[in-house]
Chains A and B, each alone.
Chain A
């Protein structure tokens, strides 16, 4: 079981709920993936009070834990307001904190992120900050009260997979006791397996499943990849070698040359 802030979760895959062909396909994908946490954005659906209520009740009906997010927020104030709204709507203190700094790359504004994290942690939230792989920013987020970090491995929705393995390794190495969830940039199940093999605690993804030709099968594939990657990490993988090492001994065999 994956212990995330005291909550025991059967799956290490967290799934976003945006961009699916329909809520029915989303529900099937959630089930196929085996995920136990879904994220949901509130920002745009908020227009006009609780006008997004119908969709939110479909999300509640998925029966998973809900991690609301502040996707689309570009300032500390917006993010804090959205987080408070999310706490009311979903009755949870968990919040995936996004403060976007660049509209085009969706890169986090790490300065605003740290500030918003501090405000929300002081207010009793469990903040899951969407951040870069920068170690200093990660330190600041932990100082602000975050108990978990969500580094990107590539820009949101890019499907590039881990573009800087060294940075991810070093992050894992620096924060051995902090739950690290790779959020954003995963495109294929092998990407998810790769970061899980590096020892990350979980992955969060959305577009790679939602925009697949068959989101339900892709969700299942990601579920398996995350499980495989985690199991490989726990099983002690061989380090690469420069020479061939035969799996059966050659000594004692007849030599014909």
Chain B
């Protein structure tokens, strides 16, 4: 079976893997000239279904709990399984209780344990929550690793290619996100920064709870930190606004004042494709299977969506909606 995957974001790449692994001959067409620039590129890369359950539906936890295993198996070494630390400033301690009551898979940690987990945060927070089973990855490195793996499996990549003009495939997998022709989709803008701060090391993503501006800091290699992400009901891909930048920097500063000396090495804004229930969908229409609406859960839910899409592509005789 010859399959054309449209879009080389995390949905397209994971779908390409699931299809190629089951024996399909896969071509990935991406309108951009490389792996960058899409929503996945600006993602936090947290594989944190238990934390996300605070505001997401149970389905996100059900579909996302095996994501770290998938990334470990397919791209060994990309996922770091060190959990997530959730903290709040003393005056927002109520937020921590609220977060704990809405989630599972965590345990309380006190000041001493926080210092053991993250020595650079010693003395800064009295209490927190540790979600030990969560993981994180660097989205850009993970996408590059997945791309290389796919290339080695014989998947053909066509960058800078408009999939409209490519034909001769038995199945098409539409993973074009916001570019898909789906009137039910909306964009939720997310803005992020990457800071570089040699004086600080973190081993795991740290979420800083705040009544209005909950933000997170995800460690990347080389003392780089991704700070994210705003959630704005807007399709705008324009540059990070000053206000959002101040909020993101304020969160980093609240986590550790040493971040005030960090270099801002990148700012970015992506638009998350979302349906009105903020849940992803895999749909079959004719010979096309569409994966969309991954919202803020691209790296977390793409593996499960890819498996569903591959199932549909391989026995596509009816139109149905999954998840």
Contact = CB atoms under 8 A, between A and B. Distances in A.
Q: Is the interface of B mostly helix, strand, loop or mixed?
A: loop
Given A58-B186, A157-B211, A213-B101, A51 B234 contact: yes
A54 interface: yes
Given A47-B236, A55-B186, A24 B278 contact: yes
Nearest to A53: B235
B235 A54 contact: yes
B238 interface: yes
B241 to A, nearest CB: 6
A47 B235 CA distance: 9
Contact of B102 (A23, A53, A157, A213): A213
Interface in A53-100: 53-55, 58
Contacts of B241: 44, 47
A47 B276 contact: no
What is the size category of the interface that chain B forms with chain A? 20 to 34
Given A21-B55, A55-B186, A44 B102 contact: no
A75 B136 CA distance: 41
B62 interface: no
B211 A58 contact: no
Interface in A161-194: none
A142 interface: no
A201 to B, nearest CB: 28
A11 to B, nearest CB: 23
B238 A21 contact: no
Given A54-B186, A54-B187, A58-B186, A24 B277 contact: yes
Interface in A5-58: 21-25, 27, 44-48, 51-55, 58
Contact of B234 (A21, A47, A211): A47
B320 interface: no
A22 B236 contact: no
A80 to B, nearest CB: 19
Nearest to B185: A54
A134 to B, nearest CB: 24
A24 B295 CA distance: 14
A145 B280 CA distance: 48
B232 A47 contact: yes
B276 A45 contact: no
Contact of B233 (A48, A55, A211, A213): A55
Given A157-B211, A157-B212, A51 B235 contact: yes
Contact of B236 (A21, A23, A48): A48
B261 interface: no
A57 B168 CA distance: 38
A4 B261 CA distance: 53
A46 B235 CA distance: 10
A24 B276 CA distance: 5
B276 A58 contact: yes
Given A54-B187, A58-B186, A27 B232 contact: no
Interface of B: 55-57, 98, 101-102, 185-187, 189, 211-212, 232-238, 241, 243, 274-279
26 contacts: A21-B56, A21-B57, A22-B274, A22-B276, A22-B278, A24-B276, A24-B277, A27-B276, A44-B232, A44-B241, A45-B234, A46-B234, A48-B234, A48-B235, A51-B187, A51-B235, A52-B233, A52-B234, A53-B235, A54-B186, A54-B187, A54-B235, A55-B234, A58-B276, A157-B211, A213-B101
Q: Top 7 nearest A-B pairs by Cβ distance?
A: A48-B236, A55-B233, A54-B186, A51-B236, A22-B278, A24-B277, A51-B234
